[in-house]
Amino acid sequence: MGNDSGPIILLTAALDEKQKARILAAAPEARLVSEADLAAEPDLVRRIEVAYPRLPSALWARAEGLRWLQSSFAGVDGLLAMPEARRHPAVFTNVHIHVHCLAEHLWGMALMLVRNLHGSVRAQQSGHWDAPAVSASVGTLAGGTLCVAGLGAIGRQCAAIGRLMGMRVIGISRGGRPDPSVDQVVTPDKRREVFAVSNLVMLLLPGTEETRGFVGKAEMDALRGAWLVNGGRGSAVDTAELVRALRDGRVRGAGLDVTEPEPLPDGHPLWALPNVIISPHYGGVHPGYEEESLEVFCSNLRRWVRGEPLQHVVDKSKGY
Report the SS3 class of residue 11.
strand
Residue 85 has pLDDT above 70, yes or no: yes
Contacts of 108 (CB under 8 A, 6+ apart): none
Alpha helices (H) in the chain, listed in sequence order? 17-26, 35-40, 77-80, 83-87, 99-114, 117-126, 131-135, 153-164, 191-195, 217-223, 239-248, 269-272, 289-306
Candidates 262, 291, 302, 308; catalytic one:
262
Q: Does residue 209 carry a catalytic annotation?
A: no
| Dist. CA 306–CA 20, nearest whole Å | 19
Tens digits of per-residue pLDDT, 222-250?
Answer: 999 999 999 999 999 999 999 999 999 99
Q: Does residue 100 carry a catalytic annotation?
A: no
Tens digits of per-residue pLDDT, 241-286?
Answer: 999 999 999 999 999 999 999 999 999 999 999 999 999 999 999 9
Give the mean pLDDT of the chain. Answer: 96
Cα 258 from chain centre: 9
Centre a 10 Å sphere on the Cβ of residue 272 and count the other Cβ atoms it contains: 9
Q: Which domains does the chain have, with CATH numbers?
A: 8-97+287-306 (3.40.50.720), 99-278 (3.40.50.720)
Tens digits of per-residue pLDDT, 25-77?
Answer: 999 999 999 999 999 999 999 999 999 999 999 999 999 999 999 999 999 99
Q: Does residue 262 carry a catalytic annotation?
A: yes
Predicted structure pTM score: 0.91
| Dist. CA 10–CA 50, nearest whole Å | 6
Candidates 22, 47, 244, 281; catalytic one:
281
Candidates 88, 98, 118, 233; catalytic one:
233
Nearest Cα to 320, choosing from 114, 108, 92? Answer: 92
| Dist. CA 24–CA 214, nearest whole Å | 44
pLDDT band at 6 (very low <50, low <70, confident <90, very high): confident
Residue 193 has pLDDT above 70, yes or no: yes
| Dist. CA 311–CA 304, nearest whole Å | 10
pLDDT at 306: 96
Residue 5 has pLDDT above 90, yes or no: no
